[in-house]
Amino acid sequence: MQFARKLGCIMINGKKNIEMESIPSVSNAAAAGQIVSWRHLGYYLFVPLAVALYAGLNNWKMIGIAGLPASIIFYMAHSLLPWWTTCLSTTALMKALNRWKPPWLVLLILGHTMGCLIVLPYSNWLTGLYAERWPELVLGAETGSVLSMAFLKYWLQAGVIWIGINFVFDRFIGLPLYRYVIPRGFETLGPVHRANTESGWGVRPPGFVERLPAALQPEDVLAIKAEQHYIKVFSPDKEYMVLYRFSDAVREIDESLGMQVHRSYWVNTGAIKSIHARAKDFTLRIKSDTDIPVSTPYQGMVRELAKKARIPQRG
């Protein structure tokens, strides 16, 4: 199948900023996949290595006393594991705070702080090894205790690097890893095409699905919402803006997968966690902990679904 995809809407802090961009067709799928893999490899490996090499090559005192290899190894050990730990910490916090969806910068600061606290014993141990081997370096405790000025300095310096690198990858390289609503369209996580036999949506997936990351499975589309000429696609941990008509999207989706519950909302019935009915306030809570409104014409069908599927109903 030949698909031409376009990047949709930028959603940052609840404001929309439209930017369209061409995406390679199937004939360029391999090249697109290569570019994406290098983005991730660059972020998770080349970035911490580059930081370590820069620091190791510029510490003339350590090079003069311990030698260049020891200096490079020291900063690599201080860069690689802390970087990966911070990435994991931020990802874990992103999932834990999914219901509240804190701003991108707040999430980065929280993840960085958590990562610094986790690697603190390791950093002090590593610094101690070098201090014992080369006492003349006068390393002391590079990070110290949590309440020390050394730790605060380390936290600030590492934080500037962490936020700066994420800003570059997010805005200029096209790898927004820690956003709940993907800016500049979406990140491409795999080939741009979807084989009919693997789509999970029937003979042909809905048009808007073809514009989403290939790694996104049918069950990951929890709900869709009309946003003027766009639709917002809800997944377990992120939201995507796609240039598509809501009515066309609902018409193309297999009826067995979900139902329309509002003039602006369609919901995957398998993604409903609970139903909340308070006076005129009737909502569904889906797996991403997002509340979806149900308008009056659809409330009867939703109640019937709740009985059949044994979905918890709360007043």
Per-residue three-class SS string for 233-262? EECCCCEEEEECCHHHHHHHCCCCCEEEEE
22 domain-assigned: no
- How does the average pLDDT of the chain come out, rounded? 80
- The domain tally of the chain equals 2
Q: What is the pLDDT of residue 256?
A: 85
304 domain-assigned: yes
8 domain-assigned: no
**Both 164 and 41 in a single domain?**
yes
Q: What is the dihedral of CA 66, 70, 72, 75, to 10 degrees?
A: -90
Q: What is the pLDDT of residue 142?
A: 54
* Alpha-carbon gap, residue 57 to 80, rounded angstroms: 16
Q: What is the pLDDT of residue 291?
A: 93
Q: What mean pLDDT comes out for the span 260-286?
A: 91
pTM of the model: 0.65
From residue 294, alpha-carbon distances to 19, 240, 262, 277, 278 in Å are: 31, 21, 5, 10, 12
Whether 76 and 49 have beta carbons less than 8 Å apart is answered as yes
97 domain-assigned: yes
CATH code assigned at 252:
2.40.50.1020
The pLDDT > 90 percentage for the chain reads 49
Q: Residue 309: give the domain boundaries.
A: 196-314
**Both 41 and 138 in a single domain?**
yes
Higher pLDDT, 102 or 217: 102
**Both 115 and 224 in a single domain?**
no
181 domain-assigned: no
How does residue 23 score in pLDDT terms, banded at 50, 70 and 90? very low
How does residue 11 score in pLDDT terms, banded at 50, 70 and 90? very low
Write the DSSP symbol of residue 137. Answer: G
The H or E element spanning position 224 is strand 223-227
**Both 158 and 226 in a single domain?**
no
Q: What is the pLDDT of residue 36?
A: 47
Q: What mean pLDDT comes out for the span 27-46?
A: 64
187 domain-assigned: no
